[in-house]
Structure 1
Amino acid sequence: MTRHAVPYVGTLSAYELGRRVHRGLPSSTISITIPEADPVEIAWLGRPGPPGRFHAAVAGLHLDAAELRQEGYGRGVWVTLSPLGAAALLGVPAAELSGRVVELADVAPALADLPERLAGRRSWPERRALVEDALLAGWARHEARAGDRDLRVVLAALSGTDRVRETAGLLGCSRRYLSATVRAALGVTPKEYQRLVRFEAARGRLVAAARSGAVSLAEVAATAGFADQAHFTREWRAMTGCTPVEWLRTEGPSA
Protein backbone atom coordinates (compact mmCIF):
# COMPACT_ATOMS: atom_id res chain seq x y z
CA MET A 1 0.00 0.00 0.00
CA THR A 2 1.32 3.43 -0.94
CA ARG A 3 1.55 5.75 2.04
CA HIS A 4 1.04 9.49 1.81
CA ALA A 5 2.99 12.20 3.58
CA VAL A 6 1.28 13.62 6.64
CA PRO A 7 0.54 17.36 6.30
CA TYR A 8 2.58 19.69 8.53
CA VAL A 9 5.16 16.98 9.41
CA GLY A 10 8.78 17.98 8.80
CA THR A 11 10.58 15.03 10.37
CA LEU A 12 9.46 11.55 11.39
CA SER A 13 12.42 9.39 12.31
CA ALA A 14 13.83 6.95 14.80
CA TYR A 15 16.32 8.27 17.33
CA GLU A 16 18.94 6.72 19.57
CA LEU A 17 20.46 8.64 22.45
CA GLY A 18 22.60 5.86 23.84
CA ARG A 19 23.45 6.58 27.48
CA ARG A 20 24.68 10.12 26.97
CA VAL A 21 22.90 13.42 27.38
CA HIS A 22 21.50 15.01 24.24
CA ARG A 23 21.26 18.79 23.97
CA GLY A 24 17.96 19.84 22.47
CA LEU A 25 18.47 23.07 20.57
CA PRO A 26 16.12 26.05 20.11
CA SER A 27 13.49 25.36 17.49
CA SER A 28 10.83 27.04 15.35
CA THR A 29 8.89 23.78 15.13
CA ILE A 30 6.76 21.65 17.43
CA SER A 31 8.57 18.45 18.41
CA ILE A 32 7.16 15.17 19.71
CA THR A 33 9.52 12.72 21.41
CA ILE A 34 8.12 9.24 22.05
CA PRO A 35 10.54 6.96 23.98
CA GLU A 36 10.55 3.28 23.14
CA ALA A 37 10.44 2.12 26.76
CA ASP A 38 11.74 4.23 29.65
CA PRO A 39 10.46 7.81 30.01
CA VAL A 40 12.61 10.64 28.70
CA GLU A 41 13.85 13.27 31.17
CA ILE A 42 13.96 16.85 29.89
CA ALA A 43 15.47 19.80 31.75
CA TRP A 44 15.69 23.35 30.43
CA LEU A 45 19.20 24.75 30.59
CA GLY A 46 19.37 27.94 32.61
CA ARG A 47 15.92 27.46 34.16
CA PRO A 48 15.41 26.47 37.79
CA GLY A 49 13.61 23.29 38.77
CA PRO A 50 14.08 19.53 38.38
CA PRO A 51 13.77 17.79 35.01
CA GLY A 52 10.39 16.55 33.86
CA ARG A 53 9.75 12.88 33.04
CA PHE A 54 7.62 12.18 29.99
CA HIS A 55 6.15 9.06 28.43
CA ALA A 56 5.75 11.13 25.27
CA ALA A 57 6.86 14.77 25.24
CA VAL A 58 5.56 17.65 23.14
CA ALA A 59 7.78 20.75 23.01
CA GLY A 60 6.62 24.06 21.58
CA LEU A 61 8.68 26.75 19.91
CA HIS A 62 11.51 27.66 22.28
CA LEU A 63 14.56 29.90 22.34
CA ASP A 64 16.30 27.93 25.10
CA ALA A 65 18.29 24.72 24.98
CA ALA A 66 17.36 21.63 26.97
CA GLU A 67 19.04 18.42 28.10
CA LEU A 68 17.43 15.07 27.30
CA ARG A 69 18.25 11.83 29.11
CA GLN A 70 16.74 8.39 28.69
CA GLU A 71 17.69 5.28 30.62
CA GLY A 72 17.93 1.85 29.07
CA TYR A 73 18.30 1.73 25.31
CA GLY A 74 17.55 5.41 24.83
CA ARG A 75 15.58 4.87 21.65
CA GLY A 76 12.29 6.11 20.30
CA VAL A 77 10.49 8.13 17.65
CA TRP A 78 11.00 11.82 16.97
CA VAL A 79 8.53 13.99 15.05
CA THR A 80 8.63 17.67 14.15
CA LEU A 81 5.61 19.67 13.05
CA SER A 82 5.35 23.11 11.50
CA PRO A 83 3.75 25.64 13.88
CA LEU A 84 0.47 25.22 12.01
CA GLY A 85 0.59 21.49 12.71
CA ALA A 86 -0.03 21.92 16.41
CA ALA A 87 -3.65 22.95 15.84
CA ALA A 88 -4.22 20.88 12.70
CA LEU A 89 -2.88 17.56 14.06
CA LEU A 90 -2.93 17.86 17.86
CA GLY A 91 -5.84 20.25 18.34
CA VAL A 92 -3.90 22.82 20.36
CA PRO A 93 -2.55 26.18 19.10
CA ALA A 94 1.21 26.54 18.92
CA ALA A 95 0.99 29.56 21.23
CA GLU A 96 -0.20 27.34 24.10
CA LEU A 97 2.94 25.22 23.79
CA SER A 98 5.47 28.02 23.39
CA GLY A 99 8.47 27.61 25.70
CA ARG A 100 6.96 24.50 27.31
CA VAL A 101 7.30 20.73 27.32
CA VAL A 102 4.12 18.78 28.12
CA GLU A 103 2.84 15.23 28.00
CA LEU A 104 1.38 14.26 24.64
CA ALA A 105 -1.63 12.76 26.45
CA ASP A 106 -2.37 16.13 28.09
CA VAL A 107 -2.65 18.03 24.81
CA ALA A 108 -3.95 15.22 22.60
CA PRO A 109 -5.88 12.69 24.75
CA ALA A 110 -6.71 10.61 21.67
CA LEU A 111 -2.96 9.85 21.38
CA ALA A 112 -2.53 8.86 25.03
CA ASP A 113 -2.02 5.19 24.17
CA LEU A 114 0.43 5.86 21.31
CA PRO A 115 3.60 5.03 23.34
CA GLU A 116 2.09 1.71 24.45
CA ARG A 117 1.00 0.86 20.92
CA LEU A 118 4.45 1.74 19.57
CA ALA A 119 6.06 -0.64 22.07
CA GLY A 120 4.20 -3.49 20.38
CA ARG A 121 5.65 -2.70 16.93
CA ARG A 122 9.07 -4.22 16.29
CA SER A 123 9.99 -2.99 12.81
CA TRP A 124 10.60 0.62 11.86
CA PRO A 125 8.10 0.55 8.94
CA GLU A 126 5.40 -0.63 11.36
CA ARG A 127 6.27 2.05 13.90
CA ARG A 128 6.38 4.79 11.30
CA ALA A 129 3.03 3.71 9.84
CA LEU A 130 1.45 3.73 13.30
CA VAL A 131 2.59 7.31 14.01
CA GLU A 132 1.51 8.48 10.56
CA ASP A 133 -1.93 6.93 10.98
CA ALA A 134 -2.31 8.50 14.43
CA LEU A 135 -1.42 11.95 13.11
CA LEU A 136 -3.69 11.59 10.10
CA ALA A 137 -6.52 10.67 12.43
CA GLY A 138 -5.77 13.86 14.35
CA TRP A 139 -5.91 15.82 11.12
CA ALA A 140 -9.35 14.37 10.44
CA ARG A 141 -10.50 15.50 13.91
CA HIS A 142 -9.00 18.98 13.72
CA GLU A 143 -9.47 20.50 10.30
CA ALA A 144 -7.07 23.28 9.39
CA ARG A 145 -8.39 26.63 10.50
CA ALA A 146 -9.53 29.24 7.98
CA GLY A 147 -6.63 31.53 8.90
CA ASP A 148 -3.94 28.93 8.26
CA ARG A 149 -3.28 30.14 4.73
CA ASP A 150 -2.79 33.72 5.90
CA LEU A 151 -0.47 32.64 8.71
CA ARG A 152 1.53 30.50 6.30
CA VAL A 153 2.12 33.61 4.17
CA VAL A 154 3.16 35.59 7.25
CA LEU A 155 5.69 32.98 8.39
CA ALA A 156 7.13 32.66 4.89
CA ALA A 157 7.60 36.42 4.74
CA LEU A 158 9.25 36.51 8.17
CA SER A 159 11.62 33.74 7.11
CA GLY A 160 12.74 35.78 4.11
CA THR A 161 14.05 38.80 5.99
CA ASP A 162 15.65 39.74 9.32
CA ARG A 163 13.67 42.98 9.64
CA VAL A 164 10.15 42.95 11.10
CA ARG A 165 9.33 46.39 9.68
CA GLU A 166 10.32 45.20 6.20
CA THR A 167 8.13 42.13 6.57
CA ALA A 168 5.17 44.26 7.64
CA GLY A 169 5.67 46.44 4.55
CA LEU A 170 5.73 43.40 2.27
CA LEU A 171 2.51 42.12 3.81
CA GLY A 172 0.81 45.52 3.69
CA CYS A 173 0.11 45.71 7.43
CA SER A 174 1.43 47.62 10.41
CA ARG A 175 4.26 46.31 12.53
CA ARG A 176 1.93 46.33 15.52
CA TYR A 177 -0.66 44.20 13.72
CA LEU A 178 2.03 41.76 12.56
CA SER A 179 3.41 41.42 16.08
CA ALA A 180 -0.03 40.80 17.59
CA THR A 181 -0.87 38.21 14.93
CA VAL A 182 2.36 36.24 15.29
CA ARG A 183 2.36 36.32 19.09
CA ALA A 184 -1.26 35.15 19.24
CA ALA A 185 -0.55 32.27 16.86
CA LEU A 186 2.93 31.14 17.94
CA GLY A 187 3.53 32.54 21.41
CA VAL A 188 6.70 34.33 20.28
CA THR A 189 7.29 37.74 18.72
CA PRO A 190 8.10 38.15 15.02
CA LYS A 191 11.70 39.03 15.94
CA GLU A 192 12.01 35.90 18.08
CA TYR A 193 10.64 33.78 15.24
CA GLN A 194 13.17 35.29 12.85
CA ARG A 195 15.89 34.62 15.39
CA LEU A 196 14.89 30.95 15.52
CA VAL A 197 14.76 30.65 11.73
CA ARG A 198 18.24 32.18 11.39
CA PHE A 199 19.60 29.92 14.13
CA GLU A 200 18.20 26.82 12.42
CA ALA A 201 19.65 27.91 9.08
CA ALA A 202 23.05 28.22 10.74
CA ARG A 203 22.69 24.84 12.42
CA GLY A 204 21.88 23.19 9.10
CA ARG A 205 24.87 24.77 7.40
CA LEU A 206 27.13 23.90 10.33
CA VAL A 207 26.12 20.23 10.20
CA ALA A 208 26.52 20.12 6.42
CA ALA A 209 29.99 21.64 6.70
CA ALA A 210 30.99 19.14 9.41
CA ARG A 211 29.84 16.23 7.27
CA SER A 212 31.90 17.50 4.37
CA GLY A 213 34.93 17.75 6.64
CA ALA A 214 35.49 21.47 6.06
CA VAL A 215 33.98 23.68 8.77
CA SER A 216 34.36 27.43 8.31
CA LEU A 217 32.47 29.33 11.00
CA ALA A 218 32.96 32.56 9.08
CA GLU A 219 31.30 31.06 6.00
CA VAL A 220 28.46 29.57 8.05
CA ALA A 221 27.90 32.94 9.71
CA ALA A 222 27.83 34.80 6.40
CA THR A 223 25.47 32.42 4.61
CA ALA A 224 23.08 32.28 7.60
CA GLY A 225 22.76 36.06 7.80
CA PHE A 226 24.98 36.94 10.77
CA ALA A 227 27.14 40.07 10.74
CA ASP A 228 30.32 38.07 11.23
CA GLN A 229 31.74 34.98 12.93
CA ALA A 230 31.87 36.66 16.34
CA HIS A 231 28.19 37.59 16.09
CA PHE A 232 27.32 34.02 15.13
CA THR A 233 29.32 32.53 18.02
CA ARG A 234 27.78 34.94 20.57
CA GLU A 235 24.27 34.14 19.39
CA TRP A 236 24.93 30.38 19.38
CA ARG A 237 26.30 30.50 22.92
CA ALA A 238 23.40 32.64 24.14
CA MET A 239 20.84 30.20 22.71
CA THR A 240 22.55 26.88 23.45
CA GLY A 241 24.93 27.43 26.36
CA CYS A 242 27.97 26.35 24.33
CA THR A 243 29.96 27.42 21.28
CA PRO A 244 29.39 25.94 17.81
CA VAL A 245 32.71 24.07 18.06
CA GLU A 246 31.81 22.64 21.47
CA TRP A 247 28.45 21.49 20.14
CA LEU A 248 30.04 19.76 17.15
CA ARG A 249 32.57 18.08 19.44
CA THR A 250 29.93 16.67 21.81
CA GLU A 251 26.99 16.07 19.46
CA GLY A 252 28.64 15.74 16.09
CA PRO A 253 27.07 15.89 12.61
CA SER A 254 24.78 12.99 13.55
CA ALA A 255 22.84 15.35 15.86
Structure 2
Amino acid sequence: MIPAPPVPRALAPYVVARVAYDVDFGAPGVHRGLPGTSLTFVLPLDDPLRVSWGGRSDTLHSAWTSLAGLHAAPAAVHHDGLQRGIQLALTVAGARAVLGVPAAALAGSLTDVDEAVVPRPLRELSGRLHDAVTWEQRIAVVDRTLATLVASADGPGPRAEVGRALARLTRGARVGDVAEEVGYSRRRLSTLVRDECGVTPKEFQRVARFQMARGLLGRRPLAEVAARCGYSDQAHLSREWAALAGCSPTTWLREEFPFVQDRDPAAEAPSEHD
Protein backbone atom coordinates (compact mmCIF):
# COMPACT_ATOMS: atom_id res chain seq x y z
CA MET A 1 0.00 0.00 0.00
CA ILE A 2 1.22 3.49 -0.85
CA PRO A 3 1.35 5.79 2.21
CA ALA A 4 -1.48 8.29 1.93
CA PRO A 5 -3.27 10.81 4.14
CA PRO A 6 -6.60 9.70 5.61
CA VAL A 7 -9.83 10.33 3.76
CA PRO A 8 -10.76 14.01 4.29
CA ARG A 9 -13.36 14.57 7.01
CA ALA A 10 -15.88 16.01 4.54
CA LEU A 11 -15.76 12.78 2.54
CA ALA A 12 -15.88 10.37 5.49
CA PRO A 13 -19.67 9.77 5.35
CA TYR A 14 -19.31 8.72 1.72
CA VAL A 15 -15.92 7.03 1.40
CA VAL A 16 -14.93 4.24 3.78
CA ALA A 17 -11.46 3.90 2.31
CA ARG A 18 -9.26 5.35 -0.39
CA VAL A 19 -6.34 2.98 -1.05
CA ALA A 20 -3.44 3.69 -3.39
CA TYR A 21 -1.81 0.39 -4.30
CA ASP A 22 1.29 -0.84 -6.08
CA VAL A 23 1.38 -4.62 -5.80
CA ASP A 24 3.83 -7.14 -7.27
CA PHE A 25 2.22 -10.59 -7.25
CA GLY A 26 5.31 -12.18 -8.78
CA ALA A 27 3.42 -13.78 -11.67
CA PRO A 28 0.19 -13.36 -13.64
CA GLY A 29 -2.88 -14.71 -11.92
CA VAL A 30 -6.23 -14.00 -10.35
CA HIS A 31 -7.07 -12.71 -6.91
CA ARG A 32 -10.40 -12.54 -5.16
CA GLY A 33 -12.51 -9.44 -4.66
CA LEU A 34 -14.63 -10.25 -1.63
CA PRO A 35 -18.13 -9.03 -0.72
CA GLY A 36 -18.52 -6.15 1.72
CA THR A 37 -20.92 -3.47 2.85
CA SER A 38 -19.49 -0.85 0.50
CA LEU A 39 -19.43 -0.35 -3.27
CA THR A 40 -16.04 -0.70 -4.95
CA PHE A 41 -14.70 1.85 -7.43
CA VAL A 42 -11.27 1.09 -8.90
CA LEU A 43 -9.07 3.35 -11.03
CA PRO A 44 -6.18 1.27 -12.45
CA LEU A 45 -3.07 2.98 -13.79
CA ASP A 46 -1.16 0.59 -16.04
CA ASP A 47 -3.76 -1.56 -17.79
CA PRO A 48 -7.54 -1.80 -17.89
CA LEU A 49 -8.87 -3.75 -14.93
CA ARG A 50 -10.22 -7.17 -15.87
CA VAL A 51 -12.84 -8.43 -13.45
CA SER A 52 -15.41 -11.21 -13.54
CA TRP A 53 -17.60 -12.98 -11.04
CA GLY A 54 -15.70 -15.93 -9.59
CA GLY A 55 -15.90 -19.00 -11.79
CA ARG A 56 -17.82 -17.20 -14.56
CA SER A 57 -15.61 -16.20 -17.47
CA ASP A 58 -18.71 -15.07 -19.37
CA THR A 59 -18.96 -12.06 -17.05
CA LEU A 60 -15.42 -10.76 -17.70
CA HIS A 61 -15.40 -6.95 -17.76
CA SER A 62 -12.38 -4.91 -18.85
CA ALA A 63 -12.16 -1.12 -18.51
CA TRP A 64 -10.09 1.78 -17.20
CA THR A 65 -12.56 2.12 -14.35
CA SER A 66 -14.42 -0.56 -12.45
CA LEU A 67 -17.62 -0.21 -10.45
CA ALA A 68 -18.99 -3.08 -8.37
CA GLY A 69 -22.24 -2.78 -6.44
CA LEU A 70 -23.11 -4.66 -3.29
CA HIS A 71 -22.94 -8.39 -3.91
CA ALA A 72 -22.78 -11.72 -2.10
CA ALA A 73 -20.33 -13.53 -4.37
CA PRO A 74 -16.58 -13.27 -4.94
CA ALA A 75 -15.18 -11.37 -7.90
CA ALA A 76 -12.13 -12.58 -9.82
CA VAL A 77 -9.59 -9.84 -10.54
CA HIS A 78 -7.27 -10.89 -13.35
CA HIS A 79 -3.75 -9.42 -13.40
CA ASP A 80 -0.44 -9.73 -15.25
CA GLY A 81 1.62 -9.86 -12.07
CA LEU A 82 1.65 -6.15 -11.29
CA GLN A 83 -1.18 -3.83 -10.30
CA ARG A 84 -1.18 -0.10 -9.60
CA GLY A 85 -4.05 2.23 -9.01
CA ILE A 86 -6.47 3.73 -6.51
CA GLN A 87 -9.41 1.85 -5.02
CA LEU A 88 -12.35 3.50 -3.30
CA ALA A 89 -14.89 1.91 -0.99
CA LEU A 90 -18.10 3.94 -1.14
CA THR A 91 -20.86 3.83 1.44
CA VAL A 92 -24.51 3.50 0.51
CA ALA A 93 -24.81 7.26 1.01
CA GLY A 94 -21.68 7.66 -1.13
CA ALA A 95 -23.40 5.94 -4.03
CA ARG A 96 -25.90 8.80 -4.21
CA ALA A 97 -23.44 11.60 -3.43
CA VAL A 98 -20.56 10.44 -5.66
CA LEU A 99 -22.15 8.27 -8.34
CA GLY A 100 -25.50 10.06 -8.44
CA VAL A 101 -27.52 6.84 -8.13
CA PRO A 102 -28.78 4.71 -5.24
CA ALA A 103 -26.64 1.69 -4.43
CA ALA A 104 -29.52 -0.52 -5.55
CA ALA A 105 -28.93 0.60 -9.15
CA LEU A 106 -25.56 -1.16 -9.13
CA ALA A 107 -26.29 -4.13 -6.87
CA GLY A 108 -24.71 -7.33 -8.17
CA SER A 109 -23.20 -5.58 -11.19
CA LEU A 110 -19.72 -5.17 -12.64
CA THR A 111 -19.61 -2.03 -14.77
CA ASP A 112 -17.62 1.16 -15.37
CA VAL A 113 -18.17 4.90 -15.65
CA ASP A 114 -18.66 4.70 -19.42
CA GLU A 115 -21.52 2.22 -19.04
CA ALA A 116 -23.11 3.63 -15.88
CA VAL A 117 -25.01 6.90 -15.73
CA VAL A 118 -22.64 8.92 -13.53
CA PRO A 119 -21.65 12.61 -13.24
CA ARG A 120 -19.21 14.01 -15.80
CA PRO A 121 -16.35 14.68 -13.33
CA LEU A 122 -16.31 10.97 -12.55
CA ARG A 123 -16.05 10.12 -16.24
CA GLU A 124 -13.04 12.42 -16.54
CA LEU A 125 -11.30 11.19 -13.41
CA SER A 126 -9.37 8.31 -14.99
CA GLY A 127 -7.78 10.58 -17.60
CA ARG A 128 -6.85 13.18 -15.00
CA LEU A 129 -5.36 10.44 -12.85
CA HIS A 130 -3.13 9.29 -15.70
CA ASP A 131 -1.92 12.87 -16.25
CA ALA A 132 -0.71 13.08 -12.64
CA VAL A 133 2.93 12.17 -12.05
CA THR A 134 3.24 11.35 -8.34
CA TRP A 135 1.05 9.41 -5.92
CA GLU A 136 0.53 12.59 -3.93
CA GLN A 137 -0.86 14.30 -7.04
CA ARG A 138 -3.05 11.31 -7.90
CA ILE A 139 -4.59 11.14 -4.45
CA ALA A 140 -5.18 14.90 -4.51
CA VAL A 141 -6.94 14.60 -7.90
CA VAL A 142 -9.23 11.89 -6.54
CA ASP A 143 -10.01 13.82 -3.35
CA ARG A 144 -10.78 17.05 -5.23
CA THR A 145 -13.06 15.25 -7.66
CA LEU A 146 -14.94 13.51 -4.86
CA ALA A 147 -15.26 16.76 -2.90
CA THR A 148 -16.69 18.50 -5.98
CA LEU A 149 -19.23 15.73 -6.52
CA VAL A 150 -20.30 15.66 -2.88
CA ALA A 151 -20.64 19.46 -2.73
CA SER A 152 -22.74 19.56 -5.89
CA ALA A 153 -24.96 16.57 -5.12
CA ASP A 154 -28.53 17.86 -5.26
CA GLY A 155 -30.58 14.69 -4.93
CA PRO A 156 -31.91 13.32 -1.66
CA GLY A 157 -29.71 11.02 0.38
CA PRO A 158 -30.84 7.72 1.85
CA ARG A 159 -33.60 7.95 4.47
CA ALA A 160 -32.15 8.59 7.90
CA GLU A 161 -33.97 5.51 9.20
CA VAL A 162 -32.26 3.37 6.55
CA GLY A 163 -28.87 4.74 7.54
CA ARG A 164 -29.52 3.93 11.19
CA ALA A 165 -30.77 0.48 10.28
CA LEU A 166 -27.66 -0.28 8.24
CA ALA A 167 -25.45 0.86 11.09
CA ARG A 168 -27.20 -1.47 13.51
CA LEU A 169 -27.20 -4.38 11.05
CA THR A 170 -23.47 -3.91 10.50
CA ARG A 171 -22.95 -4.34 14.21
CA GLY A 172 -24.91 -7.59 14.27
CA ALA A 173 -28.31 -6.52 15.61
CA ARG A 174 -31.28 -8.75 14.75
CA VAL A 175 -33.41 -7.56 11.85
CA GLY A 176 -36.60 -7.56 13.97
CA ASP A 177 -34.91 -5.52 16.69
CA VAL A 178 -33.59 -3.03 14.13
CA ALA A 179 -37.05 -2.61 12.60
CA GLU A 180 -38.51 -1.88 16.02
CA GLU A 181 -35.75 0.61 16.84
CA VAL A 182 -36.29 2.64 13.67
CA GLY A 183 -40.07 2.46 13.91
CA TYR A 184 -40.95 0.24 10.96
CA SER A 185 -42.44 -3.19 10.51
CA ARG A 186 -39.94 -5.83 9.47
CA ARG A 187 -41.55 -5.99 6.03
CA ARG A 188 -41.42 -2.22 5.56
CA LEU A 189 -37.77 -2.07 6.64
CA SER A 190 -36.93 -4.87 4.22
CA THR A 191 -38.55 -2.95 1.36
CA LEU A 192 -36.72 0.29 2.20
CA VAL A 193 -33.32 -1.37 2.57
CA ARG A 194 -33.75 -3.38 -0.62
CA ASP A 195 -34.83 -0.28 -2.56
CA GLU A 196 -31.79 1.65 -1.32
CA CYS A 197 -29.11 -1.06 -1.36
CA GLY A 198 -30.36 -3.74 -3.70
CA VAL A 199 -30.12 -6.40 -0.97
CA THR A 200 -32.39 -7.35 1.92
CA PRO A 201 -31.53 -6.52 5.55
CA LYS A 202 -30.68 -10.18 6.14
CA GLU A 203 -28.36 -10.27 3.13
CA PHE A 204 -26.72 -7.01 4.19
CA GLN A 205 -26.22 -8.36 7.70
CA ARG A 206 -24.71 -11.58 6.32
CA VAL A 207 -22.15 -9.67 4.26
CA ALA A 208 -21.41 -7.35 7.20
CA ARG A 209 -20.64 -10.34 9.44
CA PHE A 210 -18.41 -11.80 6.75
CA GLN A 211 -16.63 -8.45 6.41
CA MET A 212 -16.02 -8.35 10.14
CA ALA A 213 -14.57 -11.87 10.03
CA ARG A 214 -12.39 -10.90 7.11
CA GLY A 215 -10.89 -8.07 9.15
CA LEU A 216 -9.94 -10.50 11.94
CA LEU A 217 -8.84 -13.48 9.87
CA GLY A 218 -5.12 -14.06 10.14
CA ARG A 219 -4.97 -11.99 13.31
CA ARG A 220 -7.03 -14.27 15.59
CA PRO A 221 -7.63 -18.06 15.74
CA LEU A 222 -10.53 -19.18 13.55
CA ALA A 223 -12.61 -20.33 16.52
CA GLU A 224 -12.22 -16.90 18.14
CA VAL A 225 -13.11 -15.13 14.88
CA ALA A 226 -16.26 -17.24 14.62
CA ALA A 227 -17.31 -16.45 18.18
CA ARG A 228 -16.58 -12.71 17.95
CA CYS A 229 -18.44 -12.31 14.66
CA GLY A 230 -21.60 -14.16 15.67
CA TYR A 231 -21.17 -17.47 13.85
CA SER A 232 -22.52 -20.52 15.67
CA ASP A 233 -19.13 -22.23 15.47
CA GLN A 234 -15.99 -22.50 13.35
CA ALA A 235 -17.69 -24.85 10.90
CA HIS A 236 -20.40 -22.24 10.31
CA LEU A 237 -17.72 -19.63 9.61
CA SER A 238 -16.01 -21.97 7.14
CA ARG A 239 -19.26 -22.69 5.29
CA GLU A 240 -20.07 -19.00 4.97
CA TRP A 241 -16.52 -18.23 3.85
CA ALA A 242 -16.76 -20.87 1.12
CA ALA A 243 -20.10 -19.44 -0.03
CA LEU A 244 -19.07 -15.78 -0.05
CA ALA A 245 -15.35 -16.01 -0.88
CA GLY A 246 -15.30 -19.13 -3.04
CA CYS A 247 -12.62 -20.74 -0.91
CA SER A 248 -11.89 -21.80 2.66
CA PRO A 249 -10.50 -19.33 5.21
CA THR A 250 -7.16 -21.18 5.23
CA THR A 251 -6.92 -21.02 1.43
CA TRP A 252 -7.60 -17.28 1.47
CA LEU A 253 -4.99 -16.77 4.17
CA ARG A 254 -2.41 -18.68 2.14
CA GLU A 255 -3.16 -17.06 -1.23
CA GLU A 256 -4.44 -13.56 -0.50
CA PHE A 257 -3.65 -12.37 3.00
CA PRO A 258 -0.03 -11.31 2.40
CA PHE A 259 -1.19 -8.91 -0.32
CA VAL A 260 -4.29 -7.42 1.29
CA GLN A 261 -3.47 -7.14 4.98
CA ASP A 262 -1.86 -3.72 4.58
CA ARG A 263 -4.15 -2.29 1.90
CA ASP A 264 -7.68 -3.15 3.03
CA PRO A 265 -8.93 -0.85 5.80
CA ALA A 266 -12.47 -1.30 4.54
CA ALA A 267 -12.42 -4.97 5.52
CA GLU A 268 -12.99 -4.17 9.17
CA ALA A 269 -14.04 -0.53 9.05
CA PRO A 270 -17.75 0.13 9.42
CA SER A 271 -19.18 2.47 6.85
CA GLU A 272 -22.15 4.63 7.47
CA HIS A 273 -23.45 1.58 8.01
CA ASP A 274 -20.40 2.70 9.48
Q: What TM-score, normalized to structure 1?
A: 0.90
- How many residues align structurally? 247
SS in 2 for 1:32: strand
* 2:29–2:81 contact (8 Å) kept in structure 1: no
CA deviation profile, 1:183-231 (whole Å, cap 9, x unmatched) = 0000000000000110000000114x0xxxxx41000100111000000
Are 1:174 and 2:185 counterparts? yes
1:74 CA drift (Å)? 1.8
Aligned to 2:52: 43
SS in 1 for 2:50: strand
SS in 1 for 2:259: coil
Alpha-carbon distance between aligned partners in 1 of 2:103 and 2:178, rounded to the nearest angstrom: 21
SS in 2 for 1:158: helix
In structure 1, stretches of 5+ residues that fail to align are 210-214
Are 1:75 and 2:84 counterparts? yes
Are 1:107 and 2:117 counterparts? yes
* 2:93–2:157 contact (8 Å) kept in structure 1: no
* 1:86–1:94 contact (8 Å) kept in structure 2: yes
* 2:67–2:110 contact (8 Å) kept in structure 1: yes
Alpha-carbon distance between aligned partners in 2 of 1:89 and 1:96, rounded to the nearest angstrom: 13
CA 1:21–1:80 in structure 2 vs 1: closer, same or farther (change >3 Å)?
same
Are 1:219 and 2:230 counterparts? no
Are 1:235 and 2:206 counterparts? no
Aligned to 2:73: 64
Aligned-residue sequence identity (percent) comes to 40
Structure 1 window deviating more from structure 2 (30-39 vs 167-176): it is 167-176
1:104-143 counterparts in 2 under 5 A? 104-105=113-114, 106-110=116-120, 111-143=122-154
CA 1:150–1:132 in structure 2 vs 1: closer, same or farther (change >3 Å)?
same
Aligned to 2:98: 89
* 2:30–2:76 contact (8 Å) kept in structure 1: yes
Are 1:11 and 2:20 counterparts? no
1:240 CA drift (Å)? 1.0
* 2:40–2:90 contact (8 Å) kept in structure 1: yes
* 1:90–1:142 contact (8 Å) kept in structure 2: no
Structure 2 counterpart of 1:236, one-letter code: W
In structure 2, stretches of 5+ residues that fail to align are 1-6, 261-274
1:244-255 counterparts in 2 under 5 A? 244-255=249-260
* 1:221–1:232 contact (8 Å) kept in structure 2: yes
Structure 2 counterpart of 1:10, one-letter code: V
CA 1:67–1:170 in structure 2 vs 1: closer, same or farther (change >3 Å)?
same
Alpha-carbon distance between aligned partners in 1 of 2:235 and 2:140, rounded to the nearest angstrom: 44
Aligned to 2:269: none
Alpha-carbon distance between aligned partners in 2 of 1:172 and 1:84, rounded to the nearest angstrom: 21
Structure 1 counterpart of 2:45, one-letter code: E
Structure 1 counterpart of 2:19, one-letter code: S
CA 1:21–1:48 in structure 2 vs 1: closer, same or farther (change >3 Å)?
closer
* 1:38–1:72 contact (8 Å) kept in structure 2: no
Aligned to 1:29: 38
Alpha-carbon distance between aligned partners in 1 of 2:113 and 2:44, rounded to the nearest angstrom: 12
Which structure carries more relative contact order (alpha carbon 8 Å, separation 6+)? 2
CA deviation profile, 1:78-127 (whole Å, cap 9, x unmatched) = 11111110001110110001011111233324122211211121211111
1:162 CA drift (Å)? 4.7
Taking only aligned residues, the RMSD between alpha carbons, in angstroms, comes to 1.9
Alpha-carbon distance between aligned partners in 2 of 1:170 and 1:77, rounded to the nearest angstrom: 38
Structure 1 counterpart of 2:91, one-letter code: S
Alpha-carbon distance between aligned partners in 2 of 1:131 and 1:190, rounded to the nearest angstrom: 31
Structure 1 window deviating more from structure 2 (14-23 vs 57-66): it is 14-23
